[in-house]
Structure 1
Amino acid sequence: MTTTLLRIATAGSVDDGKSTLVGRLLHDAKAILADSLDDIARTSAERGFGGETPALDLALVTDGLRAEREQGITIDVAYRYFSTANRSFILADCPGHVQYTRNTVTGASTADAAIVLVDARHGVLEQTRRHLGVLSLLRVPQLVVAVNKMDLVDWKEQRFSEIETQILDITAELGIKRTAVIPVSALNGDNIVDASAHSDWYAGPTLLGLLEALEPERGQGTARLDVQYVIRPQGALAPGLDAEQYRDFRGYSGTLADGELSVGDTVQIISNGQPATSTIKSIRNSHGEVTTALAGEAVLVELTGEIDIARGDTIIAGEPEVPVRQIEANICVLSPNKITAGQLVLIKHGTKVARAKVQSLDHVINVVDFSRSAATELQLNDLARITVRSSAALAVDEYQNSRTAGSFLLIDPNSGATLAAGIIEAQNAAA
């Protein structure tokens, strides 16, 4: 029985029933508090949902903002946390509108799996292709396509098979290797948590059953720690340390990304100074001193020798890596401020922030068909390939190897606003 955390993103075209599906999933998994159910019931009654037979409008579970409820649409990423007996989940409910592509990128960037809804009546739409394209660019490991509103096509197996074939053809073309397609009715709860009596021709798992069985693909790369704080002795003597140890102690804290780190491991330190090597002397987590730390753990490590390390530096296990200054990346523009070639920005990679320059706008990506076109400027929601040059050496990796080492933000140096999020496709170690 697995108890690991699974991060899920949801996406779908407008009116595919995505919010209803999320609400049904949480409701049938008994993950909605009683007072929230009362609020949903009251709002549903006020809207006359269900007609003469009052029912719960489960779309309200995720449309938590009053403005969104009044418009009847989802306009931002809504995060929900829930657990079953087998697993804990973080669910990012992304908007379906094309003008909110940036929100889909935000919600899917850390997802272990993504649920994409398709209306059984309409099949695969342009926005469906757009979402599949974004998920492909972000290399989300597992894709689940829920063919919703099967009750409105009389649960016809032939209609489901047509959509399933089309989805599998598209995902194969995009290089998405793990795709599951499930027939559902979010409104009625068919194949969400419990198997449907209307789809005896379907032998696969329910949506929740599949999500509980998935194994997240994370933490397999080289262990790396982006230093967030340098811990030095302050105040009273720390428990477990004698006076000499306390005086000489210097620890480096952060969240371990990828792999595992053990006492005795040889590590490389990437900083603004010359690269240095050291050995892990001790590791501490929230439970105390340990011999090994795993990806995702917040840790405090102590190294042998005296090395100048500061916030923004990176501690990497294994073979020495060459820090780089120039990278090629796919970005999604998150700000209404335009991005142009030659623009000066700040680049945030891990905990390091450095001055940088947008060297070139290589092309804009149309994620519906993956065609490319030239551009002189990038606008909100654009997806594009650019080349960036940093003033400081960065301990990067390609996104396909490490989501943490392969991602970054571009920031406006004047306002501090986030301009774009990027994933690294190639790197250049040349000065």
Structure 2
Amino acid sequence: MSDVETKEAVYVTDQLIADDIDAYLVQHEHKTMLRFITCGSVDDGKSTLIGRLLYDSKMIFEDQLDALQSDSKKVGTQGQEIDFALLVDGLAAEREQGITIDVAYRFFNTEKRKFIVADCPGHEQYTRNMVTGASTADLAVILIDARKGVLVQTRRHSYLCHLIGIKNIVLAVNKMDLVDYSQDVFDRIVEEYGAFAREIGIESFTALPISGFKGDNITTLSDKTPWYKATQYAGITLVEHLETVEVLSSVDADKPFRLPVQWVNRPNLDFRGFSGLIATGSVRAGDKIRVLPSGKTSTITRVVTYDGDLEEAVAGQSVTVCFADEIDCSRGSVISIADNPPQTADQFEATFVWMADEAMVPGRAYWLKVGTQMVSATVQEPKYEVNVNTMEKLAAKTLELNAIGVAELTTDKQIVFEAYADNRTLGGFILIDKMTNATVAAGMIHFSLRRSQNVHWQAVDIDRKQHAGLKNQRPAVLWFTGLSGSGKSTIANLVEKKLHRMNRHTFLLDGDNVRHGLNKDLGFTEADRIENIRRVGEVSKLMTDAGLIVITAFISPFQADREMVRSMLPEGEFFEVFIDTPLKVAEARDVKGLYKKARSGELKNFTGIDSPYEAPRNPEIRIDTTVISPEEAANLIVDTLLGDA
């Protein structure tokens, strides 16, 4: 072969290699993504299975493999075997106990698909972590130890997966090597699980006999289970099933277009677009759209991404869309197809998975986040709690950690929603504690309550501004809070007398007086205290609408409830007045003899004794009654109120 022919051959070979590389990159660029979780009871082999998947898919670097082999020897793995669970169980506590605590996310890919897998904890106390991992999953691999069969956590995790809306369930009967690959054991477990699955509404599942430790039926069919090929599952391996199952985004693409707006994209005066992740459906330039909750309509002019404009974008893609018209649209709005929009409402029935150590408090205000919308919401007393072992509906006053129940939910303004079964993004939500910002619950909306659709705001011609103008004053709420005996009522009464002499229109709501009428049906439990404050807050709001200066004197021991009232009013109209009197001083006064009764046990749930008082963090006015007199305190409060006005 001449030099010219050799150079040409080398060129052709290099070109073929380059073409192969380009084809490979294009193939991997357009791979679909499957998100799945592994769950089940403790020590069913979840972490080992994921480690095996990473190992078999060549997703472990040499130094990681060396470290893994070294760690495997340290924890007592015999011979040359590798403890694959160590790839996933990253926390020291997990390695020490041999369990998974946190949700561990791992990434791997095969020739056909990319994967994100979440290894969820098996202990009941970490159910909230499991819910977090399952919330974005397309598929769940529920592992069962072949030696133990269906356990309580198997049932719990299966129910949660079904509740969260995971349609693709894989029942992986693991550790088949420890039961001699017995078909009878496999069939018995599948039959038992199938009966339970039908009971909770799981219509179908795929069952596989595997060994995560030995690698049986993970990437290749095992010769140890020849009988498996004759089952209804036709001898498919776990990886083959993961590569071919339908992903959630492909299902969502066939639904009506929904785009929750995350932010308004305004880099300069010549561009204005609305950015977010498409939850369902597809969109292209020329589509007629509707923005909710305003209901305004327009037409899409562009679908923009970092890489340029798209002809069409589908569910799962992050885009910026531009409108033909200048209409109101901001974070929290939902852009939908014009002729098939989602609903809006402010009252719902929903299922809750309680995730906080502190029990749910009916009537307390929490932040509710659904999609990109954030509103204030209260939860009513549960209709029932679900016993996941028996599926029995139990009466419940509240929900404790890891409890699952159904309750009614009310938001302070209408939100855009769809039933969770139809749209995870607009039907799923979390509740956030207003004081700690901790997530306390995850939930799924079933439907809006009919009364939320039938009760509407009636427009009036005379508004709160005109009422206040007639009285020549700015409405306000002076919210006195402090321990019993602190001097709230005394100082509040003096404040009203001073304002009255100044021709101000006022009304005093005293805690004891209100309980003789409006709130006579309420006791002193935490839930009743919250409802007591909520009602007073609503009355105060109505009175400020009438243009009044409202003075309230309530212990109101919980910070969250005082903030709930603050959120009802326009900014600047709520004045928190903390009557700061030490417990010893208040108890020494004990004008009504209440502390004495509380100390003797005659009076339960008394604030400061056997019920907590949460002192205001940043009150507008703080009165130290050990330093100034009630008269001086009243003068200070009036000066602050009118000076601020």
Calculate the TM-score normalised by the size of structure 2. 0.63
Structure 2: gaps of 5 or more residues: 1-26, 230-234, 456-645
Give the one of 136, 155, 167 matched to 1:129.
155
**Matched residue, 1:201:** 227
* 1:34-183 map, 5 Å: 34-50=62-78, 53-183=79-209
Does residue 266 of structure 2 align to residue 232 of structure 1? yes
* 1:180-191 map, 5 Å: 180-191=206-217
SS in 2 for 1:360: coil
Counterpart of 2:54 in structure 1: which amino acid? L
How far apart are 1:248 and its partner, in Å? 4.5
**Matched residue, 1:395:** 416
Q: Is the 8 A contact 2:296 2:328 kept in 1?
A: no
Larger Rg: 2
Structure 1: gaps of 5 or more residues: 235-246
**Matched residue, 2:384:** 363
Give the one of 254, 265, 271 matched to 2:276.
254
**1:79-103 CA distances to partner (integer Å, 9 max, x unpaired)?**
0011111100010100111111111
Does residue 361 of structure 2 align to residue 340 of structure 1? yes
Q: Which runs of 4+ in 1 moved over 6 A?
A: none
SS in 1 for 2:226: coil
**Matched residue, 1:241:** none
SS in 2 for 1:60: helix
Greater relative contact order (CA < 8 Å, ≥ 6 in sequence)? 1
Does residue 332 of structure 2 align to residue 312 of structure 1? yes
Give the one of 408, 411, 426 matched to 2:429.
408
CA RMSD after TM alignment: 1.6
Q: 1:321 to 1:130 in 2, by over 3 A?
A: closer
Distance 1:140 1:320 in 2: 25
Tell which deviates more after alignment, 87-96 or 209-218: 209-218
Q: Is the 8 A contact 1:354 1:390 kept in 2?
A: yes
Distance 2:442 2:105 in 1: 19
Calculate the TM-score normalised by the size of structure 1. 0.93
Counterpart of 1:374 in structure 2: which amino acid? A
Distance 2:257 2:381 in 1: 32
Does residue 241 of structure 2 align to residue 210 of structure 1? yes
Distance 2:94 2:176 in 1: 27
Q: Is the 8 A contact 1:260 1:295 kept in 2?
A: yes
How far apart are 1:303 and its partner, in Å? 0.9
How far apart are 1:337 and its partner, in Å? 2.4
Distance 1:167 1:286 in 2: 47
Distance 1:424 1:289 in 2: 35
**1:28-75 CA distances to partner (integer Å, 9 max, x unpaired)?**
12122222222211111122211xx14211111110112221222110
Distance 2:270 2:322 in 1: 11
Does residue 303 of structure 2 align to residue 302 of structure 1? no
**1:262-284 CA distances to partner (integer Å, 9 max, x unpaired)?**
1111111114xx32111111111
**Matched residue, 2:346:** 325
Distance 2:412 2:121 in 1: 36
**1:302-357 CA distances to partner (integer Å, 9 max, x unpaired)?**
11211121111111114234311111111111221221211111111111111111
Counterpart of 2:448 in structure 1: which amino acid? Q
Give the one of 374, 378, 383 matched to 2:399.
378
Q: Is the 8 A contact 1:285 1:297 kept in 2?
A: no
SS in 1 for 2:412: strand
Larger relative helix fraction: 2
Counterpart of 2:42 in structure 1: which amino acid? V
Distance 2:90 2:34 in 1: 22
SS in 2 for 1:134: helix
Percent identical pairs in the alignment equals 43
**Matched residue, 2:608:** none
Does residue 39 of structure 2 align to residue 17 of structure 1? no
Q: Is the 8 A contact 1:360 1:388 kept in 2?
A: no
**Matched residue, 2:310:** 290
Distance 1:183 1:196 in 2: 10
